[in-house]
Structure 1
Amino acid sequence: MVEISSRRYFILATIMLASIMGPIDASIVNTILPTIAQYFKVEVALVQWVPMIYLLTISSLLLFYGRLGDIFGYKKVYVMGLAGFIISSLLCGISPNIYFLIAFRALQGIFAAMMMAVPFAIITASFPPMERGKALGINAISISAGLALGPSIGGFITALLNWRFTFFINIPIGVLGLLLAWRIIPEFKGQKARVDIPGAITVFISLFLFLLFVNRAQLHGLDYQNMIILLVSTILGIIFFMLEVGNEEPLLNLNLFKNMTFSFANLSALLNFMSQYVMVFVTPFYLQRVMECPPDKVGLLMTAFPLATLIVAPISGWLSDKIGTRILACVGAAICALSLSLMAQLPISATHFDVAWRLALFGIGTGIFQSPNNSAVMGSVPKPFLGTASGILATMRNVGMVLGIATAGLILYNTIPSVILQKTTLGASDIHVFFSGLKHAYIGGAFLTGIASITSLIRR
């Protein structure tokens, strides 16, 4: 333990190097989707599966890989995921058609989930409790930097070379991260337990179908196919919990949720990430359709959010080690709610600065909230279940992203007539109707993170 403690910041730096790839990859792909659709000459409905299958696969496997880390060791899961991510990035870059690209993105999601499931566990196991918040706050820099740099890098690489190199960029970063991880991350001893295969299969299918239902429901509503998908997902979810209750070595230890800090901090994370992706999903519509900003200007303005988080998160994490997590998480979520409320009050004639400082305020709130809340989750579980806790927290993040986009989409589709949504250019009367729908979505996001502010106060 003394050896681990002496090189804990090298371990953190190694984790951060690989952690930056996930956000960069996700934000780059969203940026270049129109280019990919044009290159393969396919419809938007088909090319949307490129990011969606990636996110669905990751979200459905995080619980399983988190538990796998508890059993076989966090380093093994992390290194295997990083190696697979490098190979699958290469395969994505050489895809001969859109169907191969979608398949390889699913494969990339399988390995990305391994990378994302255990970093919180590795950091928590490497740092003493009095430095845990600071370490998690510093780690948040890589995620925020990835989100901030992704759109710009994607646009630059696609313009200078072509879209395939947006996947190839993962290879040199990944190889360096893999070499460092192999050398620096210690072998955390696993526990003697069997892998809950029935539970893993059941929860994977259940979560995958649920998130698929959420995505489809935005466009197709509660049609016959969606109701079947939701029914099967619900039945499998019930079966999963029945399997876990009677299992001595479960995939998901339900006893963890008896701890109020663990349960409500995870709920707060889910709600806050939902509000984040309401902001991330809705604001580009406002910038493009209402303010008529070009894509490069949209990307530049949107970076105000992650850049503010990047600056604030380490400070908030350090502060949480001194004064505790409750107040900081509550204040951070409340600031996010304030920012979304202020976005809802923007006039149609708002300036770029009006939007930028509100986005920066949201980033400040996010930075204040995340590090203390993550520290509360990871500090509330026994050491043998750090991988499980890390997997659950990562699942809350990814499911929150999907639900946030779905919530925003649902509000927009129900408040804005479809004929206006389909227009590329809006008239004066259309803009007022369109902007009214955006305001409802912002208010919905403020309500979600407002609840997160309250649940952040509930601690054991």
Structure 2
Amino acid sequence: MVQEKWVALSNTTIGVLMATINASILIIALPPIFRGIDLNPFQSGAFAYLLWILMGYMIVTAVLLVTIGRLSDIFGRVRLFNLGFAIFTLGSVLLYFTPGKGDTGALELIIFRIVQAVGGSFLMANSYAIITDNFPKEERGTALGINAIAGTAGMSIGIVAGGILSAINWRYVFLVSVPVGLLGTVWSYLKLKETSPKLKQKLDIPGNLLFGAGLIILLIGITYGLVPYKSSATGWADPWVITAIIIGIILLIAFPFVERKVKQPMFRLELFKIRAFSAGSFSGMISGMGMMGLMFMIIILFQGIWLPDHGYSYASAPFWAGIFMLPMTVAMGIFGPLSGKLSDKHGSKGIATLGLLISAFALILLSLLPYNFIYIEMGILLFIFGAGMGMFTAPNTSAVMSSVPPESRGSASGMLTTLRNVGTTASMGIFFTILILSLSSKLPGALSSAVTNAGAPQLASVFSKLPPTDAIFGALLGINPIKAILSILPSGVKNSISPTALSTITQRTWFPTIFAPTFMSSLHVVFYVAFAITLVGALLSFIRDPLTKKSGSSKRISNEEQAVKLKR
């Protein structure tokens, strides 16, 4: 039994680490990937490709996790976990051999990423449940802590790995998963033994269709809400976006009413009556919002502003951005397992809540940094934020998974991870919208004045029309958008620019210097929102333990007692 539990932990940890690394590895690697497939990032429609390459993986996993969790309860968690390794490896091989160029290459990347996401969904939906099946309660927090931190740290490791591998060859970003996937596939099929109680039940077709369709339509609406629409900087006024969001919300609202009438529902809604489950799941979703939102915003800050302004070339910015994000990864690796071990002895509530409060503290301090900050200050704050997230994730996961009956662990694991993925996807929509709207009111005037002061007033009207999405896109990809604008200007306009003015506005530091103040003031608003969101997560974490009055005294109801009542 001792050997089996460590086989289960090591195998599931490798699977989750691989899946989450690939969820974030493209954030850094996009510049060489776009160059590799010969796609002009500033052509019409390219921003949509960017969003889908980044968010398609998260959307697919968010949609599939609950269904796969339920299927795992029925057919066996280990069986579907093993299948996930094989599918994920296939997707990685397809991505490595992406043959197309331009728009075709971008579409192929999106499709192959979806294949990869399907495999990742099988891995993420079952890892927590398999560990919970194999470890006794007194060791469960430590084991789940290691696995949960592998999932959280994988997001940060993916950024570093993407920066290093893409500097060599963009295809290596996908190739790195192949040997790990092959090893995991063979090892899991040979060594991992089934321990879950297979339920003799049917798949809930109506519930799956309703939940999947509602979530897909809603997340697609959120995604295209970030794409410019007509003269607007965002697409939130697009009738198709509004319709998609409304339909998605209606379908998701209808979902629980349908599930109450289904004999064997895809998810037991009564599990939300267990406060540890409901509070832990929703606080996990909120922590995902803060985590992903911070990572994306800091990456843009590094690649588009701070690094070019400190002498780094645009080509090397993605690599160094990954390196400078390491303090967050290191902190998670230290405090994740440590907090999991402490939660086994002292409970999860205090440690998890303190973790989110620490992360919130780091966010409010980040809002005080200027755009030309000293890196040591940023590094310390990233470490503090990562430490807080590490302290929260492991105890929270242990509390959630320990609160449900054994036969519902697959569904619970799927729902927990689904809510977290929905949180990360929603954070993209929320934080990017804040950023775009704020920039749309400040950037045009700043660029117009700057280009006039540089000696090229004839470009003022052109540069003032630079969409905020293009500015953000250029920052995220480490590309100077000024050169892209100049390349499409009529020759007569180009020839009218003096050599001195042309030399000034094409310098590496010119655009970052103009972009930095407006971007940083907008980013401060993002940090304020992330701070508020994280505090809400801390509040949910704090109220996870129920109390009931009995004979004039307070008696704590254990999560196990609630699970037994539901089972009956």
**If the length of structure 2 is used for normalisation, what is the TM-score?**
0.77
Q: Does 2:517 align with 1:432?
A: yes
Q: Does 2:64 align with 1:61?
A: yes
Q: Does 2:116 align with 1:108?
A: yes
Residue identity in the other structure for 1:71: I
Q: Does 2:217 align with 1:209?
A: yes
Residue identity in the other structure for 2:89: I
RMSD (CA atoms): 1.9
Which residue in 2 is equivalent to 1:369?
392
Q: Does 2:375 align with 1:358?
A: no
Cα distance, 1:12 vs. partner?
0.4
1:387-426 per-position Cα deviation (integer Å, ceiling 9, x unaligned): 0110011102211111122221121122222536445444
8 Å contact kept, 1:37–1:47: no
8 Å contact kept, 1:144–1:307: no
What aligned pairs does 1:332-343 form with structure 2 within 5 A after superposition?
332-343=355-366
Q: Does 2:186 align with 1:163?
A: no
How far apart, CA to CA, are the structure 2 residues paired with 1:147 and 1:101?
A: 20
Q: CA 1:287–1:68 in structure 2 vs 1: closer, same or farther (change >3 Å)?
A: same
Per mean C-alpha deviation after superposition, the further-off stretch among 140-149 and 304-313 is 140-149
8 Å contact kept, 2:219–2:425: yes
The percent of aligned pairs where both chains have the same amino acid is: 31
Q: CA 1:37–1:222 in structure 2 vs 1: closer, same or farther (change >3 Å)?
A: same
8 Å contact kept, 1:28–1:153: yes
What secondary structure is seen at the aligned counterpart in 1 of 2:283? helix
Residue identity in the other structure for 1:324: G
Which residue in 2 is equivalent to 1:250?
265
Q: Does 2:78 align with 1:78?
A: no
How far apart, CA to CA, are the structure 2 residues paired with 1:248 and 1:442?
A: 45
Which residue in 1 is equivalent to 2:352?
329
Which residue in 1 is equivalent to 2:189?
182
Q: Which runs of 5+ in 1 are unaligned?
A: none
Which residue in 1 is equivalent to 2:540?
455
Q: CA 1:6–1:101 in structure 2 vs 1: closer, same or farther (change >3 Å)?
A: closer
Q: Which runs of 5+ in 2 are unaligned?
A: 228-234, 448-467, 472-479, 481-509, 547-568
8 Å contact kept, 1:24–1:147: yes
- Aligned equivalent of 1:40, options 13, 37, 40: 37
Cα distance, 1:194 vs. partner?
0.6
Residue identity in the other structure for 1:39: G
8 Å contact kept, 2:69–2:414: yes
Residue identity in the other structure for 2:384: L
1:376-396 per-position Cα deviation (integer Å, ceiling 9, x unaligned): 111111111000110011102
Residue identity in the other structure for 2:49: V
Cα distance, 1:289 vs. partner?
4.2
Q: CA 1:216–1:359 in structure 2 vs 1: closer, same or farther (change >3 Å)?
A: same
How far apart, CA to CA, are the structure 1 residues paired with 2:512 and 2:183?
A: 51
How far apart, CA to CA, are the structure 1 residues paired with 2:210 and 2:19?
A: 26
Cα distance, 1:145 vs. partner?
4.9
- Aligned equivalent of 2:125, options 89, 104, 117: 117
Larger radius of gyration: 2
Which residue in 1 is equivalent to 2:7?
10
Q: CA 1:6–1:273 in structure 2 vs 1: closer, same or farther (change >3 Å)?
A: same
Cα distance, 1:316 vs. partner?
0.1
How far apart, CA to CA, are the structure 1 residues paired with 2:290 and 2:152?
A: 16
Q: Does 2:530 align with 1:445?
A: yes
**If the length of structure 1 is used for normalisation, what is the TM-score?**
0.94
How far apart, CA to CA, are the structure 2 residues paired with 1:107 and 1:314?
A: 31
What secondary structure is seen at the aligned counterpart in 2 of 1:416? helix
Which residue in 2 is equivalent to 1:129?
137
What aligned pairs does 1:229-244 form with structure 2 within 5 A after superposition?
229-244=244-259
8 Å contact kept, 1:33–1:47: no
1:421-454 per-position Cα deviation (integer Å, ceiling 9, x unaligned): 4454447665333211111100110111111111
Q: CA 1:39–1:360 in structure 2 vs 1: closer, same or farther (change >3 Å)?
A: same
1:234-279 per-position Cα deviation (integer Å, ceiling 9, x unaligned): 2322332222010121001110011111111111111111111221
Which residue in 2 is equivalent to 1:24?
21
Per mean C-alpha deviation after superposition, the further-off stretch among 301-310 and 116-125 is 301-310
Q: Does 2:444 align with 1:415?
A: no
How far apart, CA to CA, are the structure 2 residues paired with 1:316 and 1:156?
A: 30
What secondary structure is seen at the aligned counterpart in 1 of 2:532? helix
